[in-house]
Structure 1
Amino acid sequence: MFEAARSLRDEFAELESQLADPGVIGDPRRSRRAGRRYSELLGIVKALDEYDRLTEDLAAAEELAGDDPDFAAEAASLGARRATAGERLTRLLAPRDPNDSNDAIVQIKSGEGGEESALFAGDLLTMYTRYAEHVGWGVEILEAEGTDLGGYKSVTVVFRAGPAGAAEAPYGVLKFEGGVHRVQRVPVTESAGRIHTSAVGVLVMPDVEGDEVEIDPDDLRIDVYRSTGKGGQGVNTTDSAVRITHLPSGIVVTCQDQRSQLQNREQAMRILRARLVAAAEQEAAAATEQARRSQVRTVDRSERIRTYNFPENRVTDHRIGFKAHNLNSVLDGGLGPLLEALHAADLAERLEQVGR
């Protein structure tokens, strides 16, 4: 039982040796990959160690039990604890996304609903930012296109993991947020007090290192132009804005919020890498018919994953039937129960794969 975990324990020991090797330490690429894999295996190895220890203790208790009720009770307790440890180890061994340990790049884009949609895009940005503050993640806005009323036509933000052990990595937590989010409320722009329905699109992508995605420079068309955003010395007076087009995929990324053309180019390439990884994952999932929750590319009201209903103070996730009447708390960053429900549903599906 758990032979797969025992082979991972051998890999873990090898990684420990590598991380102490000066040759690996001096190579940022190798060190980063070894460190990431080490972190992924650490929980599995600890769970396996606990399971094996409880197995040995249980065997000893059963041998001594005989007619002794004290040892018999101890054996029963150890058996229950070992069963719990085995369940935990099984969950950790379930197939998982290799990008779960990455930081996350999240793009929020207004859709149907005009200015009201842009305002709700700002509300979603606040929701994710406050959740990040709760769990200790770092937050950086990479690119933003605002509106006159304080909303966003589009905003791209990166969430970075905090100190080791502080919280799970951002992409693994937020990846199911991708899709269309629908809001039902009376807009601030509505004088008659009528409830409107608007839609906002969210795309969640893993933040990957430059050496993890090969991009042929010949596949890129790079255009520079003058920024059109709010000013600042050197921003609107030079050709600092950058637009990168990846010709094979047709993906276009623009960045203009940084002060220099070089900075905007670096940010645009970072977003492009993330979008290429996300597109490749979607294509692979579709090819194998294992796409559990597709991230909707078009912001259409009918293709929603979640509804935020203000009159009823209700949030509903349509994929898993989750409902809660604490909308204000959710928008203030109280996403924990909703995210836990999504991940529990995903875990159930992954455990089914283990059992097949």
Structure 2
Amino acid sequence: MEGPSAIDDLLAEYAGLEQQLADPDLHADPAAARKAGKRFAQLSPIMATYRKLEATRDDLVVAKELAADDASFATDAAALEAQVDELQRSLTDLLAPRDPHDSDDVLLEVKSGEGGDESALFAADLARMYVRYAERQGWKVEILDSVISDLGGYKDATLSIKSRGDGPDGVWSRLKFEGGVHRVQRVPVTESQGRIHTSAAGVYVVPESEEAEEVQIDENDLRIDVFRSSGKGGQGVNTTDSAVRITHLPSGIVVTCQNERSQLQNKARAMQVLAARLQAIAEDAAEAEAAAGRKSQVRTVDRSERIRTYNFPENRITDHRIGFKAHNLDAVLGGELDAMLDALADADRHARLQAE
């Protein structure tokens, strides 16, 4: 666990944030107010646990003094001692090294891989799964861009997922474990002989933090193309060239946005997406240890590089990184991801504690 000085620093920071948030001048700058509010929400559980621990320790001292004179108080003292131990473990857990992006929103891309039309249909299943999970959490989802296959699946889809912003954790804290290759085993709709096929789709998750807005992008490094937004089957959804595709020439990153009503709005949103992706690349290069989780996300979608398998005949889902298995695949695809995400978060938390 962190030393007393770390607690003192957090107490001072928390008190400072309380003063800032009570100052009307802060709220004249929405971005600064939002940032201070997020940090305050992150520190609140630590402060509450620390204060409860200190109060319980004081109660324990009194109970031990009473028990020394009257044995009937020994049970109370033992119960308080157990409570102190539990609160100490909770505080240690809360003080474990934290992912700095946990309060961030995310950009999530689902991309078909090997398996043709079946892979694209599975990619659409994954996208729906994340949308349904987001709805359960009260998050906002926007489909920024999508390329639809002939059978109605997704060859590629980019989703923006934003939290309500009123808690210590954001979307990244839950969905950061989803990056990688997802493998499916089932009988495709195109299979006439009833044989089970294996195909794969890739998921790539990037935190969309406020710091990404500060990324400097040289306009000379961009190629910007505009085209007509299209819906399912290539049908035009408007009659103007409002969709925007931005290619960042140095990195080769291509971002497309056609969800907004105007070309200017689509360009602005595409630039935000590009900034988030460039920020993630910069962090990968500069902070290898902090980026260890993202390194496991695949850049090539191959069915052999899998993090998870969705087995339809057995209604089974398996996460290969932690050995998690459950026979409720239908519920998971319906958005019931919490049990699996909790297991992944617990494994991550344990690893962080071990690394101290």
Please report the TM-score for the alignment, with normalisation by the length of structure 2. Answer: 0.92
Range moving further from structure 2, 8-17 or 249-258: 249-258
Structure 1 counterpart of 2:112, which letter?
A: S
Q: Partner of 1:333: helix, strand, or coil?
A: coil
**One-letter identity of the residue aligned with 1:196:** H
Corresponding residue for 1:13? 15
Q: What is the alpha-carbon distance in structure 2 between the residues aligned to residue 112 and residue 156 of structure 1?
A: 19
> Quick check: 112-121 or 217-226, which moved more?
217-226
Deviations 1:228-276 (A, max 9, x none): 623456x3x4332212222332222112333321121122112112212
1:291 is displaced (CA, Å) by: 4.6
Q: Which moved more, 1:307-316 or 1:172-181?
A: 307-316
CA contact (8 A) 1:106 1:157 kept: yes
Mapping 1:88-127, distance limit 5 Å: 88-127=90-129
The match for 1:251 is 253
Q: Distance in 2 between matches of 1:159 and 1:256?
A: 16
Report the alpha carbon displacement of residue 102 of structure 1 after superposing the two structures with TM: 1.2
For residue 46 of structure 2, the aligned residue among 33, 44, 58 is 44
Pick which of 25-34 and 309-318 moved more: 25-34
Aligned residues: 351
The answer on whether the counterparts of 1:176 and 1:293 sit within 8 Å (CA) in structure 2 is no
Contact 1:100-1:171 at 8 Å conserved across structures: yes
For residues 301-327 of structure 1, the C-alpha deviation after alignment (integer angstroms, 9 at most, x for no partner) is 111100111122111111111111111
Q: Secondary structure at the match of 2:101?
A: helix
Change over 3 Å in CA distance of 1:249–1:263 after alignment to 2: same
1:119 and 1:326 map into 2 onto residues whose CA distance is 20
Aligned to 2:338: 336
Q: Does structure 2 retain, via aligned residues, the 8 Å contact 1:109–1:154? A: yes
Question: Contact between 2:229 and 2:242, CA under 8 Å: does it hold in 1?
Answer: no
Instruction: Supply the RMSD in Å over aligned alpha carbons.
Output: 2.1
Which position in structure 2 is the counterpart of 1:194? 195
* Cα distance change on mapping 1:100 and 1:115 into 2, 3 Å: same
Q: Tell me, in whole angstroms, the C-alpha distance in 2 between the residues paired with 1:82 and 1:287.
A: 33
Change in CA separation of 1:229 and 1:251 when aligned onto 2, cut-off 3 Å: same
Letter in 2 for 1:270: Q
Partner residue of 1:87? 89
TM-score (norm 1): 0.92
Q: Which residue of 1 aligns with 2:325?
A: 323
Instruction: Check the 8 A contact 1:229/1:257 in 2, yes or no.
Output: no
- Per the alignment, in what secondary structure is the counterpart of residue 91 of structure 1? helix
CA contact (8 A) 1:210 1:270 kept: no
CA displacement 1:95-148 (0-9 Å, x = unmatched): 111110112221111111111011011111111122222222222222121123
Aligned equivalents of 1:201, 1:302: Cα separation in 2: 12
Distance 1:292 1:143, change over 3 A: closer
C-alpha contact 1:322 1:341 (8 A) present in aligned 2: yes
Write out per-residue CA displacement over residues 143-179 of structure 1, whole angstroms, 9 at most, x where no aligned residue.
12112322111111122223735x9421111100011
Letter matched to residue 194 of structure 1: R
Determine if contact 2:186/2:312 at 8 Å carries over to the other structure: yes
The alpha-carbon deviation at position 68 of structure 1 amounts to 1.7
Cα distance in structure 2, aligned partners of 1:48 and 1:219: 52
User: C-alpha distance in 2, partners of 1:247/1:13?
Assistant: 46
CA distance in 2, matches of 1:186, 1:39: 46
Q: Which runs of 5+ in 2 are unaligned?
A: none
Report the secondary structure of 1:100's partner residue. coil
Amino acid at match of 1:107: E
Matched, 1:260 2:262: yes
Residue 352 (structure 2) aligns with: 350
Structure 1: runs of 5 or more not aligned: none
- Matched residues, percent identical? 55
Do the aligned partners of 2:230 and 2:236 also contact (CA within 8 Å) in 1? no
Tell me how far apart the structure 2 counterparts of residues 64 and 17 of structure 1 sit (CA, whole Å): 40
Q: 2:139 is matched with which residue?
A: 137
Please tell me whether the aligned partners of residues 228 and 236 of structure 2 are also in contact (alpha carbons under 8 angstroms). no
Q: Distance in 1 between matches of 2:283 and 2:326?
A: 31
